[in-house]
Amino acid sequence: MLPNTGKLAGCTLFITGASRGIGKAIALKAAKDGANVVIAAKTSEPHPKLAGTIYTAAEEIEAAGGKALPCVVNVREEQQIADAVEKAVQKFGGIDILVNNASAISLTGTLETTAKKLDLMMSANTRGTYLTSKLCLPFLKKSKIAHILNISPPLNLNPIWFKNHCAYTISKYGMSMCVLGMAEEFRGEVAVNALWPKTAIHTAAMDMLGGPGVEKQCRKTDIVADAAYCILTKPKSFTGNFVIDETLLKKEGIKNFDVYAVAPGHPVIPDYFLDEDLDTQAMKMEAQGASSGFREEKKADGAKHTGPEGSQISLETSTTKPLGSVAETFKIIEGIINEDVVKSTQGVFLFELSGEEGGTWYIDLKNKGGNTGSGEPPVKADVIMSMSSNDFVRMFTGKLKPTMAFMSGKLKIKGNMSLALRLEKLVSQLGSKL
């Protein structure tokens, strides 16, 4: 991992969402230098499902060698931000670095995104980042360090990243547009950059989205913290950049990225908003144990057209011959469902399949011992998944990962996203038997 250099000793960092996850990891990395950290987060009382509060984070920061100021801050509330900024200046004499990390997520389509979820994402992600930056900037401009770092993605206009979760993408890109605008507006005074992980990162949010076992497909928050440390110790002339953690750390001389893996050697999920040459991505996944069919499936994507910025966008699903019939696949699935799978999943999945073997099927992993069948399930489905029959068979034979199917637009999901992502674990259990 990237060693500390002591460059942040005595500096004051204002970090939103720092009670856990990526925000806390960045705080702990800075604390090892002897930095002051303002923990601007909502959780002041223990949460039944999420570990950590602003006070437990403060204890960890001080144990690591830093000084901490825990502040109850909901970035949707301007006055709470302003109060925390005032306390930070009174206690530490100023603010040198702002990390806009707090964020809300709902991976839902347009028709499934409620006004409440829309308002949450827009106000926490875009508006919260903008307001926190605005309120910290007068003090950042007085600092010799002067950095704003937003945990947000590069502005990739490939429609794939909009079609399945338009509202979430708009809200995250709002954070990135703050980088684009403020970097130019305050050039020479305050550095403004964005940082985004190349792979999924194991956080409490990821646990809720992916369910048990998803951590094996993730990297630890340490990799984002190391990349953030590298950016924040650069001169303020380093500004207006959209940085990917692995890319930056490679330039810094890091060669072994297994040290950042939750399960070294296990394939990791690529993060959203990043395009990569499909053959290159396939070979990397094969080298980590994925089926060679992943590359075959990618190559078999039908016609392409050139989208914004020259991006290649698939217009059709795979037209290659299915690997096995849908009916046979469901028969095998039913034969290996057991009470443990039902107990750990607790969901009813409805599949709306198109193509040669199109039709409606379901997997009940919620009631009694579980079962499968054609047509509508006997109880209301928790998740509705739409895809081609060919891609369905590929997914359940290990040739197409559910996460990749969703991210590439081959799989459309309605309903409980957390349950939908748990299907990845089931698919991995079935792959060797199908």
**What residues pair up with 41 in beta bridges, in sequence order?**
72
Choose among 314, 308, 23: nearest CA to 155. 308
The one-letter amino acid code at 364 reads D
For residues 100 and 290, give the distance between their C-alpha atoms in angstroms, rounded to a whole number: 35
> At CA 373, angle to CA 365 and CA 323, rounded to 5?
95
What are the structure tokens assigned to 429, written together? 């259990």
For residues 366 and 414, give the distance between their C-alpha atoms in angstroms, rounded to a whole number: 18
Q: Is 168 among the residues known to form the active site?
A: yes
| Local structure of residue 22 (DSSP, 8 states) | H
Please report how the helices 389-396 and 326-336 are oriented relative to each other, as an axis angle in degrees rounded to 10: 30
Of residues 55, 130, 168, 272, which has the active-site annotation?
168
Question: What is the residue-wise DSSP string for 208-261?
Answer: HHH-TTGGGGSB-THHHHHHHHHHHTS-TTS-S-EEEHHHHHHHTT---GGGGB
For residues 422 and 412, give the distance between their C-alpha atoms in angstroms, rounded to a whole number: 15
Kindly list the catalytic residues. Answer: 168
